[in-house]
């Protein structure tokens, strides 16, 4: 009987962990505040070298297309 309970608890823990990891991985591909897995008000911080807008701005400056500097 103890073995059956131990197996059931193990399966339950694995299923919950699998579901939690899957929900976290599904939210990583999307950016923005409307993803179901994220808490409201928390945003993912981007380093400057990962920010597409920053990289595009640097490319424009290097090519001489940016007139503001």
What is d(CA 50, CA 54) in angstroms, rounded to the nearest whole number? 8
Handedness of CA 41, 46, 48, 51 (dihedral sign): negative
Q: What is the pLDDT of residue 22?
A: 74
pTM higher than the cut 0.75: no
Q: Please report, to the nearest 10 degrees, the dihedral formed by the alpha carbons of residues 8, 10, 15, 16 taken in order.
A: 110
48 or 4: which carries more pLDDT confidence?
4
Residue-wise pLDDT for 24-47, tens only, equals 666 555 555 455 555 566 677 767
Per domain, the residue ranges of the chain are 1-28
């Amino acid at each position: 009987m103890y073995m059956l309970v131990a197996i059931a608890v193990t399966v339950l823990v694995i299923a919950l962990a699998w579901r939690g990891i899957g929900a976290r991985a599904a939210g990583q591909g999307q950016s923005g505040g409307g993803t179901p897995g994220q808490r409201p008000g928390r945003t993912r911080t981007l380093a400057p070298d990962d920010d597409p807008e920053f990289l595009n701005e640097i490319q424009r400056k290097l090519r001489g297309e940016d007139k503001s500097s």
